[in-house]
Amino acid sequence: MKQAVIVAHPNADSYTVSVAKAFRESAEQAGGVVVFRDLYRMGFDPCLHSEEIPGNSNFKVREDVAGERALISDVDTFVLIYPLWLNAPPAMMKGYIDRVFGYGFGFGPENDGLEPRLSGRKLLSITSSGAPRHWVVDTGALNAVRTLFDTHLAKVCGLAVLDHIHFGSITPSMTAESVERNLNSVRNTASWLNRAA
């Protein structure tokens, strides 16, 4: 199985990046192939440019986006890993989705509507927050992210949503045991996903 692990966090030593690395290592140990995209370390430009908007007379796919699309064009599963900031994905992750999964890759024209172009592929999201998980669930924040980000992206692109795993109470004071317990959960998910393929 080939996966694109796409992670967004400005701190290379963050909990979020450690989750992405744990997923990658476990997936590779289970025989999977991983395309690892660390958006901040790549210096990815998240800003959608005017010529990238469908319907523009000067519409074109920029070189950086074309390169990303080529790298992830044949993956089976897209794994999005990011923190919730104001109960939403970071602008970097949203910009990557806007630009890379947009018109011509994730979907294209069909009659009077849009045709999904990633049918048969899967989506897994792994998120974290400083707020406790129960608070994110009880306030509806997690469901809102799932609906507006996972479900919509999956519907437009034709992806099957595998899961949305969320870790709450991620703070600088959390114990090493808590971090390791979460990382083991991520490792088990990656291992299971690759063995099940």
The two three-digit tokens of residue 57, written as one number:
């007379």
pLDDT, mean of residues 151-169: 97
How far apart CA 97 and CA 101 sit, in angstroms, is 5
Evaluated on CA atoms 179, 151, 91, 42, the torsion sign reads: positive
Long-range contacts of 49-58 (CB under 8 A, 24+ apart): 52/99, 52/102, 54/102, 54/103
pLDDT, mean of residues 109-117: 84
Which one-letter amino acid corresponds to residue 60?
K
pLDDT, mean of residues 147-174: 96
The values of phi and psi at residue 184, to 5°, are -65, -35
Provide the whole-model pTM: 0.96
Per-residue confidence at 111, pLDDT binned at 50, 70, 90? confident
CATH fold of 2-196? Rossmann fold (3.40.50)
The two three-digit tokens of residue 39, written as one number:
């958006």
Which one-letter amino acid corresponds to residue 13?
D
pLDDT, mean of residues 170-191: 96
Helix H, strand E, coil C: the string for 42-54 is HCCCCCCCHHHCC
Helix (H, G, I), strand (E, B) or coil at 163: strand
**Mean pLDDT score of the chain, rounded to an integer?**
95
pLDDT 10s digits, 6-58: 999 999 999 999 999 999 999 999 999 999 999 999 999 999 999 999 888 88
